[in-house]
Amino acid sequence: MKCPICEVEWPATVSSCPCGYAFTLASLRHAITRLRGARASAITLQACGVITLATVLPWLTIVSGGSSWIIVATILIPMQAVGGLTMLARGSARLATATRQLRAAKQLAQLPVARVIE
């Protein structure tokens, strides 16, 4: 079976996809709730990345004031910058994935129920 939300193939024995779609019930409610939470946590991760990057500037001002901070700055500033960029990139990737999957789930929820013609 192929999940209509994340488009991953699963064996027929699987009852639900990790994205939250239940194959047995064809229920989108749980999937939409889960994807909204994933989207919110991705936005939080992005914000943490931006805040971490924003705190690099004060360190640069402190370092320019004296030579005693140079050793700390050569280690701390690059680590902080890399950490901030990593959080920002991961948050952006997760946000794009969750938004795409949420859009697909909402479109599936708007489709009319199929009728069996005998």
Domain boundaries, the chain: 37-110
Query: How many residues in the chain?
Result: 118
Token pair of 103 as six digits: 């859009």
Inter-helix orientation angle 56-65/29-54, to 10°: 10
pLDDT at 47: 95
> CA 99, CA 96: separation in Å to the nearest integer?
5
**pTM reported for the whole predicted model:** 0.69
Per-residue pLDDT of 89-109, as tens digits, reads 999 999 999 999 888 888 877
Per-residue pLDDT of 19-47, as tens digits, reads 777 776 666 777 788 889 999 999 999 99
Identify the H or E element spanning 85: helix 70-110
> CA 51, CA 4: separation in Å to the nearest integer?
36
